[in-house]
Structure 1
Amino acid sequence: MLTRTHEAIPEIMYRIGDLADETGLPCYIVGGYVRDLIMQRPCTDIDIMVIGEPVPFAHALAEKLGGRNFVLFERFRTAQLELDDPKAGTFKLEIVGARKESYNPESRKPITSIGTLEDDLSRRDFTINALALRLNRKERGEVVDLFDGQRHIREKLLKTPLDPEQTFSDDPLRMMRAARFACQLDFQLDEATLTAMSTMSSRIQIVSRERVSHEFFKIMEARKPSIGLKILYSTGLLKEIIPELTVMAGIEQVDGLGHKDTLFHTFQVVDNLAEHSDKLWLRVSALFHDIAKPVTKRFHPGSGWTFHGHEAVGVKIVARIFRAMKWPLEPMEYVQKMVRLHHRPIPLSKEEITDSAVRRLMFDAGPDLDDLMTLCRADVTSKNPRKVQRIMKNFSNVEAKIAEVGEKDLLAKWRPPVSGTDIMELLNLPQGRTVGIIKSRMENAIIDGDIPYDRQAALDYIQQVYREMQEKGEA
């Protein structure tokens, strides 16, 4: 089916089409840019497809249109470059030739050969991405839509061009992309696509953790991550990639007493947090904040369910997930800190708040204190508005107390006024356990307000502690 777009095509695209006419090549914009053009969404990454040899055409674009940052992938008949448009800015282009694909069942890497326009469009993941916009002068602006992609855009429906089981068997990563597009575009998956994802979910194991993680993070960065997370859970994909999350689902009843469904509570916490922060690793922290509840869950007759120590156990599970998913280790310490501390502000909100308790929270959270409080607020998922109002007021009291503590800015970026090296030099001690004990006691004395944040006061206190340790035979 052919229809014509009403949106303006950037001027540089006209020049690409004119050059294609000069070389006698049918030329199209394909994929996500066409979808986004129809949906009036911004996009600067463009796939240009020609029916013929793409590499000489890519060289001609670079030479005649001033292309920059040219990269050639000759084995794949593909090139990348950047072109500037006078009004629309810089576009990143990928120049490809129409191709058809076949797959080895043990790999998602396609065996490619030269194909037709129909071959190329039919191999794509979803109908909304199987659209081509003609650039040649004679038919410029016409959309080639062989699989009702424009109708599915209007219906906000995700559907595969071919049989979904075949589509997902060929490239299982497309199942992750289905959940991601549902999140990003607020689209529904058609029933056959969902069923196929459930049937084929175990096949995601042939995809590298890095590629799976890339799509997973896109879901976590969406406006409402729970859309994609629920799709991953309902199709079994979540169990395949992060099984520690799926065991959080369900409500166990003993003596008529149950606990809330931790997984769906967690999805709500992630959504709540996403309304206030776009920090990826804070959102991941929200996803993992109760990760250890299933393994720490205990039922006590008369008092009900407890999850004692789930924060400490959660820190270990987070490390295991990071290693299994091959995530960067640099943000792991931050996520572990959020998981370890996410319950700490709650007791403070329920009782008389002492300066020392606030100082200790500030010391432990450090520069991430604001993120921790954002997570704590997001963790309130009660459907009782009066209860929510009361809890939020208590958190506001905690935040007000934090503001009142005179050393807030100092403690938020707290560094002890005396280092371990200073202690060794002052007391003529080698590095070891004694220095660590003295340093820890000095830090606690400052946090508890026993001595001021002052270098001389800290040095005097260190000497006092060392004398006491010597008298007791501990040094």
Structure 2
Amino acid sequence: MESVASAIQRLSDLAESPHIARLAAAFAAQGFELALVGGPVRDAFLDRPLNDLDFTTNARPDEILRVVKPISDTHWDIGRAFGTIGALIDGHTVEITTYRSDAYDGETRKPVVDFGDSLEGDLVRRDFTVNAMALRLPQKQLVDPSGGLEDLVARRLTTPGTPEHSFGDDPLRMLRAARFTSQLGFALDEQTRSALFALADRISIISVERINDEISKLLCSPSPREGLQLLVDSGLAAIVLPELPALRLEIDEHHHHKDVYEHSLTVLDQAIELETERNPGEAPDLILRLAALLHDIGKPATKRTEAGGVVTFHHHDVVGSKLAKKRLRELRYDNETIADVSRLIELHLRFFGYTEGAWTDSAVRRYVRDAGPLLERLHILTRADVTTRNRRKADRLSFAYDDLEERIVTLGLEEELAAIRPDLDGEQIMEILSLPPGREVGEAYRFLLELRLEEGPLGVDLAAERLRAWWESR
């Protein structure tokens, strides 16, 4: 954590940026207050990047517009009803919001918008004390009415008022609490934690889109485990992601199966570690992380106890894929995310057949073809799925996957595996077999694709000969 002096200097340097200094001077010239507020102030003390700058003021929306119009390249008032005006100043996007002192009706998360008159009053209505600090501009004066700086030093997460009142007003804050435990590495104080557990069922009044957003942000944090455990332990997950607590299957005294819940969290941890190693500098991969977390959600429905007490989960990959598709659809994820996550779950066991016997080149080709553009993610998910404490077994699986990846590279150099096509296209198939467009052309195309996967490139003449023989034998 940055020292107070260093953090103030960072904020001071930021405030001296030409576009911010220009904005602050314009508000001061019109007799209005202006302050940088929330996340950027907090992040200055945590030595995190200072992004998404938000400003607040005692000016009303019409007055904000009057101030920013002369100094902005363009401006917009899409958030005007909530007191927010946006503008582009010297190429930088800024958003300025009138002080708020909202009231909630207790039935929905939507507040009755009420503008306030003081910065301190605006800050104490915010979600957590560490987000309830501001820097007055142009004075560069830190304002901290709720002890946020003290909580930052203690790495403690608590609310400006009572957590019961805060969470009761806006239950989304409970999901934000879970996110911040992972994103910032903070712990909830006991009163805040107790209130979160007691009010968990209030999350049901929050829109699915907002829940989706918080789950995604949590999963894209550096270490989601803490936040996910808080969701499960509090009962929030039972409402927003019930498949996760369902993984806590009863373990019999002979331990005939591993703890699926803990295993899934470990797979997520390992997937993030591998993702970072293999794709340094890239943004967090939400699709991979969703697949890692949910890859075993088919196990509760497929659990069977066989003779001798052996526990099995036959076809949990297929069942899990369908369950993931259903849950992600209910959470309003986009179609591409739903399709990719469910496909990764469906394929996540495919590799383990590789350790039971040598795969032919055609089997390797089929593995690559079935993964398609998800191949790199499948590599990471499959490797992350090895959580055994048996070092010999773990090494054997790792070496086997090394071998598979090497074979994929070798075959890929011979023929661009990701772009495999039959030796004949649809036009040629129709000409050779004298067929019109239709289902039979598709069947012939799939036959030739399988042939290509099994035997490699055949050339046009031999492919045409094999196609005719296949057609005559139908």
Identity of aligned residues (%): 36
Asked whether 1:28 is paired with 2:35, we answer yes
Whether the 8 Å contact between 1:366 and 1:414 is mirrored in structure 2 is: no
The 3 A distance-change label for structure 1 pair 72 and 293 is closer
Asked whether 1:16 is paired with 2:23, we answer yes
The match for 2:128 is 126
The 3 A distance-change label for structure 1 pair 454 and 220 is farther
Deviates more, 1:412-421 or 1:359-368: 412-421
Aligned residues: 456
Alignment partner of 1:358 out of 349, 364, 371: 364
The match for 1:207 is 206
Deviates more, 1:384-393 or 1:265-274: 384-393
Q: Deviations over 1:305-347 (max 9, x none)?
A: 1111111112211221122111111232222221111111112
Alignment partner of 1:459 out of 445, 464, 467: 464
Residue 409 of structure 2 aligns to a residue whose secondary structure is: helix
Q: Deviations over 1:388-444 (max 9, x none)?
A: 223211211222222333666522222333345543443233555544443333222
Alignment partner of 2:377 out of 357, 371, 374: 371
The match for 1:333 is 339
Asked whether 1:155 is paired with 2:160, we answer no
Shift of 1:67: 4.4
The match for 2:261 is 263
Asked whether 1:102 is paired with 2:103, we answer yes
Whether the 8 Å contact between 1:46 and 1:91 is mirrored in structure 2 is: no
Asked whether 1:297 is paired with 2:303, we answer yes
C-alpha separation between the residues in 1 aligned to 2:59 and 2:77? 19
Q: Taking structure 1 as the reference length, what is the TM-score of the superposition?
A: 0.90
C-alpha separation between the residues in 1 aligned to 2:78 and 2:327? 36
The 3 A distance-change label for structure 1 pair 156 and 185 is same
C-alpha separation between the residues in 2 aligned to 1:404 and 1:349? 19
Residue 336 of structure 2 aligns to a residue whose secondary structure is: coil
Whether the 8 Å contact between 2:27 and 2:67 is mirrored in structure 1 is: no
Q: Which runs of 5+ in 1 are unaligned?
A: 85-89, 470-475
Q: Deviations over 1:8-64 (max 9, x none)?
A: 23323333333232212222111112112222322232222122424323432331x
The 3 A distance-change label for structure 1 pair 32 and 330 is same
The 3 A distance-change label for structure 1 pair 79 and 411 is same
The match for 2:79 is 73
Q: Taking structure 2 as the reference length, what is the TM-score of the superposition?
A: 0.90
Residue 85 of structure 2 aligns to a residue whose secondary structure is: strand
The match for 2:281 is none
Aligned runs of 1:72-471 on 2, under 5 Å?
A: 72-84=78-90, 91-115=92-116, 116-136=118-138, 140-253=139-252, 256-277=254-275, 278-302=284-308, 304-405=310-411, 409-420=415-426, 422-430=428-436, 434-449=440-455, 452-469=457-474
More strand by share: 1
C-alpha separation between the residues in 1 aligned to 2:424 and 2:433? 13
Residue 81 of structure 1 aligns to a residue whose secondary structure is: strand
The 3 A distance-change label for structure 1 pair 58 and 41 is farther
Residue 333 of structure 2 aligns to a residue whose secondary structure is: coil
Q: What letter is aligned with 1:113?
A: D
The 3 A distance-change label for structure 1 pair 19 and 438 is closer
The match for 2:279 is none
Shift of 1:130: 0.5
Q: Deviations over 1:358-407 (max 9, x none)?
A: 12212211232222111111111223434322321121122222233366
C-alpha separation between the residues in 2 aligned to 1:123 and 1:170? 10
Q: Deviations over 1:270-305 (max 9, x none)?
A: 111112323211111112211101111111122611
Shift of 1:196: 1.5
C-alpha separation between the residues in 2 aligned to 1:83 and 1:427? 66
The 3 A distance-change label for structure 1 pair 228 and 418 is farther
Q: What letter is aligned with 1:464?
A: A
The match for 1:6 is 9
Shift of 1:465: 0.3
Whether the 8 Å contact between 2:423 and 2:457 is mirrored in structure 1 is: no
Whether the 8 Å contact between 1:58 and 1:95 is mirrored in structure 2 is: no
Q: What letter is aligned with 2:448?
A: M
Deviates more, 1:433-442 or 1:154-163: 433-442
C-alpha separation between the residues in 2 aligned to 1:67 and 1:186? 39
Deviates more, 1:212-221 or 1:430-439: 430-439
Residue 244 of structure 1 aligns to a residue whose secondary structure is: coil
Whether the 8 Å contact between 2:55 and 2:95 is mirrored in structure 1 is: yes
The 3 A distance-change label for structure 1 pair 419 and 307 is farther
Whether the 8 Å contact between 2:69 and 2:75 is mirrored in structure 1 is: no
Whether the 8 Å contact between 1:251 and 1:259 is mirrored in structure 2 is: no
The 3 A distance-change label for structure 1 pair 408 and 265 is farther
Shift of 1:189: 1.5
Shift of 1:153: 1.1
The 3 A distance-change label for structure 1 pair 109 and 353 is same
The match for 2:67 is 60
Asked whether 1:37 is paired with 2:35, we answer no
Whether the 8 Å contact between 1:322 and 1:332 is mirrored in structure 2 is: yes
Whether the 8 Å contact between 1:182 and 1:228 is mirrored in structure 2 is: yes
The 3 A distance-change label for structure 1 pair 127 and 358 is same
Whether the 8 Å contact between 1:249 and 1:263 is mirrored in structure 2 is: yes
Alignment partner of 1:48 out of 48, 55, 58: 55
Residue 379 of structure 2 aligns to a residue whose secondary structure is: helix
Q: What letter is aligned with 1:307?
A: F
Residue 373 of structure 1 aligns to a residue whose secondary structure is: helix
Whether the 8 Å contact between 2:109 and 2:205 is mirrored in structure 1 is: yes
The match for 2:278 is none
